[in-house]
Amino acid sequence: MNASSEKRLSDKDFLRVSQFIHREYGIHLPPAKKTLLEGRLRKRMRQCDINTFSAYCDYLFTEEGMKEEAVFMIDAVTTNKTDFFSEPHHFEYLTRHALPELIENQTGLQKKIIAWSAACSTGDEPYTLAMVLNEFTENHPGTDFSIVATDISTKVLDIARTAIYSEEKIVPVSYALRKKYLLRSRDPDKKLVRIAPEMRERVSFYRFNLMDAHPPIREPLDIIFCRNVMIYFDPETQERLIRMFYEHLSPGGYLFMGHAESINTMNIPLNFAAPTIYRKETPS
């Protein structure tokens, strides 16, 4: 193999890596994504001080590589695009319909909503959920909530736990919520804000691979947000994932999906509640 070809990802190594990513993480990378994968791996190779793709792949697939490098490789490969109050109709539906129904269905004096942000990225989604749920529970005495947030990327989870964002990032947050839930940096030149500690305490972050059968949550879930993730999976993996969500939802619980995602072709008993929002049946 000549020097110039060593600087490109070979078809053989693309196949090795893409099949591994699909098998372990569910992400489907067709041949059209070869250039994208090459670019993402190149950044990781520089960090590892490895000069050729073949050498990087040889290292990745060793026992040490699987233990030490695979987690950083998937960090580099995965896309982590997220915003506060992304797809705002979801949060409107949550406040106006889903939360009142969920509380009504619960018995006992103390009621609690348990939510899962299943691909939380840098934390924008679970902290948005925390603000929305806190606003609701403040107006409904005897109601509490907790949020579990997971992602496969250790890099974005570190950002999420720190909960520091640029002022640019929090533009979608209303002035009233900013004033209540965001702390400005003491140095105004930095133009940074941090989520208030009482909201940070409401969210528990874990690294989790959606291909694993058992999420780090024991209780039945009232709300699951998994948005704009299934577009990276093939149909078989999508259905397996939705079935796992269904099994972990409480009766009457809600699944919120991305605007380009649907379960219409799946044989899973989730009822259409609104566009990209589905509800598990309650016992009759």
Report pLDDT digits (tens) over 104-128: 988 777 899 999 999 999 999 999 9
235 and 108 in one domain? yes
230 and 147 in one domain? yes
The per-residue pLDDT for range 79-89, each reduced to its tens digit, is 777 889 999 99
53 and 113 in one domain? no
184 and 125 in one domain? yes
Is residue 225 assigned to a domain? Answer: yes
260 or 194: which leads in pLDDT = 194
CA 249 to chain centre: 17
- Calpha distance 104→98 (Å, rounded): 10
Is residue 83 assigned to a domain? Answer: no
Is residue 97 assigned to a domain? Answer: yes
Indicate which CATH number applies to the domain containing 111.
Answer: 3.40.50.150
Determine the pLDDT at residue 1.
Answer: 42
The per-residue pLDDT for range 169-226, each reduced to its tens digit, is 999 999 999 999 999 988 888 899 999 999 999 999 999 999 887 888 889 999 999 9
Q: Is 67 exposed, middle or buried (0-12, 13-18, 19+ CB in 10 A)?
A: exposed
Is residue 219 assigned to a domain? Answer: yes
Q: Is pLDDT of 5 > 50?
A: no
Q: Establish whether 40 is a catalytic residue.
A: yes
Q: Establish whether 151 is a catalytic residue.
A: yes
**Which candidate in 13, 75, 124, 151 is catalytic?**
151
> How would residue 284 be classed by pLDDT, with cut points 50, 70 and 90?
low
Give me the percent of the chain exceeding a pLDDT of 90.
68
260 and 160 in one domain? yes
What are residue 66's phi and psi, to 5 degrees?
A: -60, -35
Q: Is pLDDT of 257 > 90?
A: yes
254 and 120 in one domain? yes
221 and 200 in one domain? yes
- Of 77, 101, 128, the residue that ends a domain is 77
208 DSSP 8-state letter: -
**Which candidate in 40, 42, 178, 240 is catalytic?**
40
Is residue 82 assigned to a domain? Answer: no
Is residue 130 assigned to a domain? Answer: yes
CB burial of 90-109 (b: ≥16 within 10 Å; e: otherwise) equals: bbebbeeebbeebbeeeeee
98 and 27 in one domain? no
- Calpha distance 144→229 (Å, rounded): 28
The per-residue pLDDT for range 35-76, each reduced to its tens digit, is 989 998 998 999 999 999 999 999 999 999 998 999 899 888
Number of independent structural domains in the chain: 2
- Of 24, 53, 77, the residue that ends a domain is 77
Q: Could you report how far apart the first and last alpha carbons of the chain are, in Å?
A: 67
Model confidence, pTM: 0.86
108 and 38 in one domain? no
- Of 27, 48, 77, the residue that ends a domain is 77
52 and 189 in one domain? no
255 and 116 in one domain? yes
Q: Is pLDDT of 131 > 70?
A: yes
Indicate which CATH number applies to the domain containing 21.
Answer: 1.10.155.10
Is residue 27 assigned to a domain? Answer: yes
Cβ–Cβ under 8 Å, residues 242 and 118: no
Q: Which two tokens stand for residue 143?
A: 């109601």
175 and 39 in one domain? no
- The range of the structural domain enclosing residue 192 comes to 88-280
